[in-house]
Amino acid sequence: MSRAHPRDVQLTSDGRLKHFLSIHGLPKSLLTEILDTAESFVNMGEQSVKKVPLLRGKTIVNLFFENSTRTRATFELAAKRLSADVLNLDIKTSSTSKGETLMDTLQNIEAMYADMFVVRHIDSGAAHFIASQITPKVAIINAGDGRHAHPTQAMLDMLTIRRHKGEFEGLKVAIVGDILHSRVARSQIRALKTLGAAEVRLIAPNTLLPVGVEEMGARVYTRMEQGLRDVDVVIMLRLQKERMSGALLPSESEFYRLYGLTQEKLAYAHPEAIVMHPGPINRGVEIESAVADGPRSVILQQVSYGLATRMAVMSMAMSGQMQERAQLQEEGLTTVNSDKGEPA
């Protein structure tokens, strides 16, 4: 059996979002719709009532098989601001630690009439696997899987860039650091290329560059002064030591000397370039405090925009799911009527 294209898994028959597993395969129009929808939620935190009823009566389950503070908190708050009921499943104390399989756990939660799973997993492809195995009535949002994808992080980064730089056409964006282990970088590259960025540059030592990354449309640099020259956006990535095996770096201090973003290195970029970081930040390893806290840093804005972006994705996926359910029910009713000899 051939593997379904990512677009076919994530979209309804008329092209609406029903799962959000990866940027791969999604059209520019849909990514733009996510950004436009997120814009409507950006200022909600300033309102006296910080809720809308879009997901009232829906149950969202956060399934975090991998530790996270920022991502889990923003997903939970996003769901609550959409008026959903939220269940945070503590995987470390769940039945999976007692020998129950992942699918048994998921099916039991399904039986409680959950409407959406937000999944973060150490294994690449976990969110796709879950989406392929459970009932189509449950929407799946990928909150990060292995080295594969982190689509909501990429989209909040795109919202940050658009709000500070306007359109993507003509932009030069540099992604710096541990590209090899970064699911965020892979999603960012796909999003930037789909949205029309002029150039995506990857800056890292050879040991932290994945094989074949140029095939995604990015240009590779191993020297900061070359890669940062005249770029409009600088996205720093942390060293993911928990995913490293073997001696990929001589030392953290040597990495900082060559690839840490300091004010001196930032001077190679365009004078109005912004600095981003998906977090958590390791000061003195990938970025200097003077840069992280400086006037060109938009790192805290990324966190705020993350809430709006996840609200957008969750509301759009739920809407797509509800539309597909209605269509399936209508088709089922049509089949029954046809079997009875009644007009369809």
The string of pLDDT tens digits covering residues 276-307 is 999 889 999 999 999 999 999 999 999 999 99
* DSSP string for 59-128: EEEEEESS--SHHHHHHHHHHHHTT-EEEEEEGGGSGGGGT--HHHHHHHHHTTT--EEEEEESSTTHHH
Quickly state the pLDDT bin for 94 (edges 50, 70, 90): low
279 is in an annotated binding site: yes
Same domain, 89 and 133: yes
- State mean pLDDT over 17-30: 96
146 is in an annotated binding site: no
Same domain, 46 and 135: yes
Measured distance CA(44)–CA(47) in Å, rounded: 5
Same domain, 265 and 157: yes
210 is in an annotated binding site: no
153 is in an annotated binding site: yes
Number of domains in the chain: 2
238 is in an annotated binding site: yes
DSSP 273: -
Is residue 340 in some structural domain?
Answer: no
325 is in an annotated binding site: no
**Residues with Cβ < 8 Å from 26, sequence gap 6 or more?**
6, 7, 10, 11, 194
Is residue 344 in some structural domain?
Answer: no
70 is in an annotated binding site: yes
Q: Which residues pair with 234 in a beta bridge?
A: 174, 275
Q: Is the pLDDT of residue 7 over 50?
A: yes
Same domain, 25 and 135: yes
Same domain, 137 and 158: no
> Residue 217, CB half-sphere, CA atoms under 13 Å: how many?
18
The answer to whether 187 and 145 have CB atoms below 8 angstroms apart is no
CATH code at 141? 3.40.50.1370
The whole domain housing 198 covers 153-298
280 is in an annotated binding site: yes
